[in-house]
Structures are given as structure tokens and as C-alpha cells.
Amino acid sequence: MSEFNQDRLGELAIEALERTAFVAAEPADTEFLDELSSCEWFTRIRYTGPISGWVYLAGSRGFMLGLASSLLGVEVEDVTIEKEGLDALRELTNIVGGSVVSALGGDHCKLSLGLPEVIESGAFPSGGAGEHCVLDAEGERLELFWQPAEASDAQAA
């Protein structure tokens, strides 16, 4: 598990975006983070088994609209945040969560994935144990946080 770091977390999300929606992304340049729009929508998914934890995602408005339009093959003007945008972020959370579980569980994975859920901004981890990365997805912000259970339990306490 020690091999699972923020670079790997970012790679899994980049792969999910490229394969599923043909959206290009790369780790954001830390010197220019302020130039990316803030995240407005937040999701998470839980995994359980021999180890457990959470994978959190957060996207800017533009990211979600772009992701939804790419998935559907329609113009950005034809999708809404509340419907297609949130559905797209939930599905991306499901896919990235599945990739994280596969990476953590290895070839004989015994981990099980839950269902993605939309959360309030305050529930997105602001720090602590886990891995955090920010991606620049065609000029829009996508943030990810992987939080192992002991860290999430401590935060809840």
C-alpha cells in the first residue's frame, strides 16, 4: 500500500478520464493552482474489506459540464450541472474508486466498493493522512483525495 501515492492516484483518474470520456488531464502545476476555478461539487465512495477507506472527488463547474458533454457527445450548452454534471461526477467517482480498489487489492482483490454519493464541501478532507492531488483537465479543476479508514475514522472522531 505504501506504493500508492498521489502520483498513482492522479494517474488512475487521468486514465479514467481519457478512456471513458476522451478528456485530457494532467497534474496541475502547483505554481498556477490559483488560475484553476474552485471546486463546487463534491462526491465520495467507500470501499470495505481487509482494509477500508474513502475516495473523494471534487470538480469545478466547468469540469463537470465538460465531462458530461464529452460522455454524452453533446455541446456543453446542452447539459446542466444538476442533472448530467452530477451524474457524470458520480460515475467518475465510481470508476476512479474501482481503480483505486484494484490498485490496493492487487490480483486477488477482496475489497468491495460501495455506491458513489454527493457530499457537502465540508466533508471533503482538508488534510491529514491520505493522498491528495489536483488535476488540470483541459483548464478545469478536478481534485482527488484517497483516505484510508484509520484516517477517516480519526477525522470523524
Partner 1 sequence: MSCNLLIVDDSPILRAAIKKVVKLAGLEEDRIFEAGNGKEALELMSTIWVDMVLLDLNMPVMNGEEFATELRKQPDLADVAVVVVSTESNEDRLARMRALGAIEVLHKPFEPEDLRRIIVNNLGVKL
Hey, how many other C-beta atoms are within 10 angstroms of the C-beta on 48? 14
Binding-site string for partner 1 from residue 35 to residue 74, where x marks contact by CB under 8 A and - marks none: --------------x------------------x--xxx-
Q: Which of 41, 33, 94, 45 is nearest to 63 (CA)?
A: 41
Shorter beta-carbon distance to partner 1: residue 76 or 154: 76
Q: Which of 101, 87, 22, 98 is nearest to 59 (CA)?
A: 87
Q: Tell me the site size for partner 1, rule CB under 8 A.
A: 33
Binding-site string for partner 1 from residue 115 to residue 154, where x marks contact by CB under 8 A and - marks none: x---------------------------------------
**Residue from 51, 81, 109, 123 in contact with partner 1 (CB under 8 A):** 109
Q: How far is CA 133 from the centre of its chain?
A: 9
**Residue from 9, 10, 16, 60 in contact with partner 1 (CB under 8 A):** 16
- Dihedral over alpha carbons 129, 44, 35, 11 (to 10 degrees): 70
Residue 9 lies near partner 1 (rule: CB under 8 A): no
Tell me if 66 sits within 8 A of 78, measured CB to CB: no
Q: What is the chain's alpha carbon radius of gyration, rounded to the nearest angstrom?
A: 15
Residue 95 lies near partner 1 (rule: CB under 8 A): yes
3-state secondary structure of 102: helix
Site residues for partner 1 per CB under 8 A = 15-16, 18-21, 49, 68, 71-73, 84, 87-88, 90-91, 94-95, 97-99, 101-102, 105, 107-115
